[in-house]
Amino acid sequence: MATAFLDHPRPLAFAHRGGAAHAPENSWRAFEHSVGLGYRYLETDLQATADGVLLAFHDRTLTRVTGQQGRVSRLSHAEVSGALIEGTEPIPRLEDLLGAWPDVRFNLDVKDISAIAPLSAVLRRTNAWDRVCVCSFSASRLRATRRVLGRPVCMAASPWGTAVVGLGGPRGRRDWLGPGRARPGRRPSPRPLTEWLARTGVRCLQVPASIATPSFIGRAQALRLQVHVWTVNERPAMERLLDLGVDGIMTDETVALREVLTARSQWHPR
Q: Provide the CATH number for the domain around residue 61.
A: 3.20.20.190
Indicate which residues carry an active-site annotation: 16, 58
The span from the CA of 41 to the CA of 35, in Å, is: 9
Give the distance, in angstroms, between the CA of residue 227 and the centroid of all CA atoms in the same chain: 12
List of residues 6+ apart from 72 with CB closer than 8 A? 47, 48, 49, 55, 57, 59, 60, 61, 62, 80, 112
The pLDDT value given to residue 2: 60
The pLDDT value given to residue 184: 39
Domain count, the chain: 1
Residue 97 lies in a domain: yes
The pLDDT value given to residue 186: 40
The pLDDT value given to residue 167: 75
Amino acid at 5: F
Residue 51 lies in a domain: yes
- Residue 102 domain boundaries: 4-263
Q: What SS3 state is found at 212? A: coil
The pLDDT value given to residue 188: 36
Residue 66 lies in a domain: yes
Average pLDDT along the chain, 270 residues, taken 10 residues at a time: 86 98 98 98 98 98 98 98 97 98 98 98 98 97 96 94 77 44 40 78 96 95 96 98 98 98 97
Residue 178 lies in a domain: yes
Are 94 and 124 in contact by the 8 Å Cβ rule? The answer is no
Residue 268 lies in a domain: no
Residue 107 lies in a domain: yes
Residue 270 lies in a domain: no
pTM of the complete model: 0.91
